[in-house]
Chain A
Amino acid sequence: MYTRVLMTILPLLLLPTATADAHAFLDRADPRVGSTVHAAPHTLTLWFTQDLEPAFSTVEVHDASGARVDGGKPTFGAGGRNVMQIALKPLSPGVYTVSWRVLSVDTHTTEGTFSFHVGE
């Protein structure tokens, strides 16, 4: 009886709970994700867990009204092929949303968003 129950339960216990993928995920950012900075930053820097393909990787920064406040074209490679940077227009106090979409060198596309706040 115990063996039969074990044979029933065992396959359930082996079900995968999540997967690890060798994709480019956001490792950290400057300004930090969800942070409040008191001085308006001039650039946004994103570090990823994998090297990026610049031709297929983008980032946009929008203010609370939806207007773009970034310089339009990101740069790559300052500090490594996994680093993407973009210039920012002069930021007034408020909440800013960062939207990124990148292609890693292993051909997987990932995307994400986060916010930071510029305080007075």
Chain B
Amino acid sequence: MFRGAAAPSFARQLVPGLLATLVATSDAAAQIPSSSFDFAQDLPIPQNLVYGASLQYSMPYLKSSVTDLGLPDFINHLVPLVEVQFSTPAENNAGNSFVTTGAIQPGVIWVGSYFQVGVEAVIPVNGQTGSTIGVLGQNHLDDMFPTTIGQPLLGKPTPVRTPFGG
């Protein structure tokens, strides 16, 4: 595939690029209810520590910044990912289990210029979370109504393009 003295160094540049396409994210937060007791059910409302992480591989980034493999356009818009989300009771959990609940969510997102759709399986990590595998769907819209209320108040209207120039 590569010829010439400079070719091996170019190949060495591509390998870190392929790894850079892999993205890791994480989040953590304290879930503190506005009231500490549910008088209707006569139960304390616990404070939880919620945390999670995701591992994603961006095919759009791969195509635009690392290497254009000439894959079908549909595949170039995909972001395969695995998310994990957990919740651990921290305080005010009298009488209840302090067991951590959570889910592992493998799935895929299709990213376009104006919207994205995603689907993930929701696999409970233990019996306290649930006993069946669920499905999560997502839809994110952007640039809605570009020819009507999405136009600037001043200036001439801008032309509307289809997602990814298609």
A interface residues with partner B (beta carbon < 8 Å): 2, 5-6, 8-9, 12-13, 15-23, 25-29, 32-36, 38, 47-51, 64, 81-82, 93-95, 105-106, 112-115, 117, 119-120
Give the contacting residue for A9; candidates B6, B101, B161; CB below 8 A.
B101
Shortest distance between the CB of B38 and any CB in chain A (Å): 10
A contact residues around B42 at 8 Å (CB):
none
Does B39 sit within 8 A of A, measured CB to CB? no
| Contact between chains at B60 and A12 (CB < 8 Å) | no
- What would be 21 A-B contacts, judged by CB atoms less than 8 Å apart? A13-B103, A17-B81, A17-B109, A18-B116, A20-B113, A22-B114, A32-B68, A32-B70, A33-B66, A33-B67, A33-B68, A49-B163, A51-B158, A94-B6, A106-B143, A112-B65, A113-B65, A114-B65, A115-B13, A119-B6, A120-B3
**CA A44 – CA B112 in complex, angstroms?**
25
Write out the residue numbers on chain B whose beta carbons fall within 8 Å of the beta carbon of A29: 68
Which residues of chain B have C-beta atoms less than 8 A from A12's C-beta? 50, 52, 85, 87, 102-103
| Complex CA–CA separation, A11 to B140 (angstroms) | 16
With known contacts A13-B103, A19-B142, A120–B68 Cβ distance under 8 A: no
- Contact residues in B for A32 (Cβ distance below 8 Å): 68, 70
Beyond A12-B87, A26-B64, A95-B13, whether A17 also contacts B3 by CB under 8 A is: no
